[in-house]
Structure 1
Amino acid sequence: MSLNLPPRGRGTASNPHNRYAPTRSQQEDDGWYQDETPHSRATEVRKEKAKTAITRNNSPDVGFDRSVNPYRGCEHGCIYCFARPTHAYWDMSPGIDFETRLIAKTNLAERLEEQLQKPGYVPQPIALGINTDAYQPIEREQRLTRQALEVLLRYKHPLHIITKGSLILRDLDLLSELASHNLVSVAFSLTTLDDELKRIMEPRTAAPAARLRAMRTLHEAGVPVSAICAPMIPMINDMELEALLEAARDAGARSAGYVLLRLPLEIAGLFEEWLQVHFPDRATHVMSLIRQSRGGKNYDSRFGSRMRGEGQFADLLEQRFRLARRKLGLDRRGSVMLDCSQFCPPGAQLSLL
């Protein structure tokens, strides 16, 4: 992999091969062009007609069994994003393609409404924007997340949101109404309070202060908010854990959680390259601590351990989190119980007459 600096505003400069591609190509300099090509990548948005809106899962590590994702790929460009490998399913790279070649499900609201209207549908909280952030920058123009919120409010369907985007405040009117019926909770992913580390680690996310302001605004509007310190990266941001939890508590968070860095598939190579570019003096030590926490490998996908890890470092991180959470009076993540009893597809009562 190249160790070139990423284009401004991007998380990586690399575009590793799609693991499903039957062939591979490699650029070679034939000496024909004398001037260097500008090192930049614009965001491309491809529109897609989705067949379904709700995705099901049976993972015991997450607190939901269904999710809705308006977008494939994420312009936020977080170097560590666990969703990067999914871009290979669309014949694109988990590298810079994931950040710049996005797919918008333009009929998301229509498909969501169809599924909610199906006979026998049993409501449980939907996680909105879990694989990729529902409030990434392109949502400003696409408005797919807002359309989904309008459907869920109309059906009185509960939902959880996890985001790094301050754009969520645009939808304060809908979120406040949902909260008045105990139908929504919002978790903010917090990784650092350091603007420079944020810039290189998750370049197009909202600044730390902006996320905390958004959290405080939602809290003051009656929307339950929480914090997820994720991911915690050894020797990069783990030393901020207690400060992040305190900042979240002061901004109105009532509960908190954390996740140890996960490096499945292509993410491991992208992350190691990122370390060599930005933290060459500690890259070896960081990877050593990660492997110590993953049974000697870059990643352990087993349920029950993949979010927390194991070993000395992981155990110490767990102890620190528990002590800080108790000291700050924060509940465990997922303590907000939303109301599923109000679910009522529009026109359902009329059909009984």
Structure 2
Amino acid sequence: MTITDIARLSGVGVSTVSRVLNNHPDVKAETREKVLNIIKEYSYVPNNSARILKQTNTKNVGILVKGVFNPFFSAMLKDISIRVEDAGYTMILHHHDNSNDLDTLIGFIKEKKLQGVICLGGNFLDIKEESLEGVEAAVVLLSVSIQSQKNYDTFSTISIANDEAAYEATHYLIRNGHKNIALLLGEKHDFGIGKLRYKGYKKALEDHKIPLKEENVIYGEYDVATAYGVTKDFLSQHKEVTALFAISDMMAVGAAKAAIDLGFSIGGTISIMGFDGMDVAKYYNPTIATVKQPREEMSRMSVELLLGLMNGSAKNQHIVLDVELLEGKSTRTI
């Protein structure tokens, strides 16, 4: 007999059973009675080891980062680490490149005896209400991919609307006269953020009656050198392309260098659009137009929410923040 069985027999969610077991006040009296009757009928004995661990462990907060190096995450990590340490917690950082992000998260929490964890990146498409059953640590998924923004109350999310942001970037290029627009994605089998940004690009083309050319979609693996190589190969064979939208600023820099080496002029014979709002886009010459994510706000909110969840002053939330399209000199009207 598990907490999931109790929830099923009671006709309530796993989180409701958990609140009853922890004697939380925000449960209706009749619901509480129903759950307690099921517990009594089936002689269910809750496993207190996780709660005991939470009461006796050190003040450890984990930061789980998907990928070995991501400049956008690195910048966020600096903001987050300062805030976590200022709050008196010890930060434990773990980079990973495993395919099963959920298992990696749960293993990280248990191994390091964490009170809370912030996930930077990763695909949590299959996460469900009961996925974190028995995990007592507070969890904030930051800039990750989940299937929907349902109000799950066993974890929190902070993100942007990636499809809408990519739509706006593509729409901006189309509005400036571009119809032959290449898309530089990250990894070919990215079913999370990359897929959402592809969706936005595709919809913008459809809304403007521009045929989608799959040969215009290339992959730079979120790496400057790789983006340079694939863009150089692509543009050498597709000189008719007038604009390229890279879904990260670092890939946009690699693409711009490739275009220049082939004789294109950035903001002249080809337009380049990036994504993230990194400083590299602002200081590149010419400045690269980009979609700016609210990095500092995301970092601040993730730590504040995590601390609130750990001390009981906050409940799980699912927050979607706005982005800003920054015009640069890397694009032109044709």
TM-score bracket for the superposition, by shorter chain length: 0.3 to 0.5
TM-score by length of 2: 0.35
Which fold has the larger relative contact order, with Cα–Cα distance below 8 Å and residues 6 or more apart in sequence?
1
Normalised to the residue count of structure 1, the TM-score between the two structures is 0.34
State which structure, 1 or 2, has the greater radius of gyration over its C-alpha atoms.
Answer: 2
Name the one with the larger helix percent: 2
